Amino acid sequence: MRQKPKRLKKGDTVGIISPSGPYRDGQLEKALPFLESLGLNYKLGENCDKRWGYLAGSDEERLSDLHTMFSDPDIAGIICARGGYGAARITDKIDFELLNNNPKILWGYSDITFLHTAIGQKNNIVTFHGPMLASDVAGEDFAPLSAKMFEQLFEPTELVYEESISQLHILSEGIATAEIVGGNLSLLTNSLGTAFEIDTTGKLLFIEDIGEEPYRVDCMLNQLRHAKKLDHLAGVVIGDFADAASTGDKPTLTLDEVFDDYFYRKPYPVMKGFKIGHCQPHFAIPLGVEATLNTKEKTLRIMPGVQ
């Protein structure tokens, strides 16, 4: 299992960066009182509010903020402002030795999946798939459960997902305990053939996405299949796939049919319906820790992500 970063304490300072896309004017400011309510101080990356087309500043600027926050001894953890696109453009330039010498909480999701995967592969450090400040915390629909998930950063906590949170559906029965990895399906697929290719052997694979029609989800799962990433899994946790309905009038499979085609009655447990992803509530999870998927109990138990 991966190295766990140190927990946060009241009074700590967290760094805020935008390693992918820019946030809308005023959105980040709406989220800052939430950090204060957690007893945290914050420091914005020097280039956090930069704009370069669909990117939050140039590659050099975004990379500089990432390196600065990891190297700054006064920064106890790092929370991403939003996703979008662009993290993969800087990943091959990351100083992974710097990160290895300064392991810290990294919290975010969506496009941040590429960073989660790379840091997990290169540094063997636990990272966190959780709601982001400008795109989630600032939203009017930010759920109490989503807010509560930040508590896992302050105290080692075993997380238990059960049907009191959302209805879960079994595609393949079983019980498996293994390291949980994954994130946004598009970004996991984009990692294939790179130095940061997702390792799924013997792992619980978690997937989620947004705005992808069934044929696109099919295409990405098929690419993972061809790359042998679905051959030796311990299990599959299917999170939220928001806005996934087909928008055309052409014949289509449903998203449920696509998932059935790839995961029905596999030799490992598979469940879908988890509110993890581009949704509210958003159940935040550490990546790279031991987790148990149990279809008999309809639960997902995840070990603490901090020490």
Q: Which two tokens stand for residue 152?
A: 């896992």
Is residue 301 within 8 A of residue 159, CB to CB? The reply is yes
Burial of 249 (0-12, 13-18, 19+ CB in 10 A): exposed
| CA 52/CA 65 separation, integer angstroms | 15
- Dihedral, CA atoms, 117, 118, 124, 127, nearest 10 degrees? -50
Is residue 281 within 8 A of residue 260, CB to CB? The reply is no
How many other CB atoms sit within 10 Å of the CB of residue 21? Answer: 22
The catalytic residues are 110, 208, 278
The amino acid occupying position 130 is G
* The pLDDT of residue 249: 81
* The pLDDT of residue 97: 98
| CA 103/CA 2 separation, integer angstroms | 11
The string of pLDDT tens digits covering residues 72-124 is 999 999 999 999 999 999 999 999 999 999 999 999 999 999 999 999 999 99
* Phi and psi torsions of 65, nearest 5°: -65, -40
Q: Where are the alpha helices (DSSP H) in the chain?
A: 27-37, 59-71, 87-91, 96-101, 113-122, 144-148, 185-190, 214-226, 255-263
Cis-peptide into 281, omega within 30 deg: yes
| CA 254/CA 289 separation, integer angstroms | 32
Sign for the CA dihedral angle at 43, 134, 302, 156 comes to positive
* The pLDDT of residue 92: 98
Residues 6+ away with beta carbon under 8 Å from 211:
242, 243, 244
Mean predicted lDDT score pLDDT of the chain: 97
> Which segments of the chain have a pLDDT < 50?
none
Domains and CATH numbers, the chain: 13-153 (3.40.50.10740), 159-302 (3.50.30.60)
Instruction: Give Cα 271 to chain centroid, integer Å.
Output: 18
The string of pLDDT tens digits covering residues 193-226 is 999 999 999 999 999 999 999 999 999 999 999 9
| CA 20/CA 36 separation, integer angstroms | 24
178 forms bridges with which residues in the sheet? 291
Buried b (16+ CB within 10 A) or exposed e, 262-300: bbeebebbbbbbbbbbbbbbbbbbbbbbbbbbbbeebbb
| CA 114/CA 170 separation, integer angstroms | 28
* The pLDDT of residue 243: 92
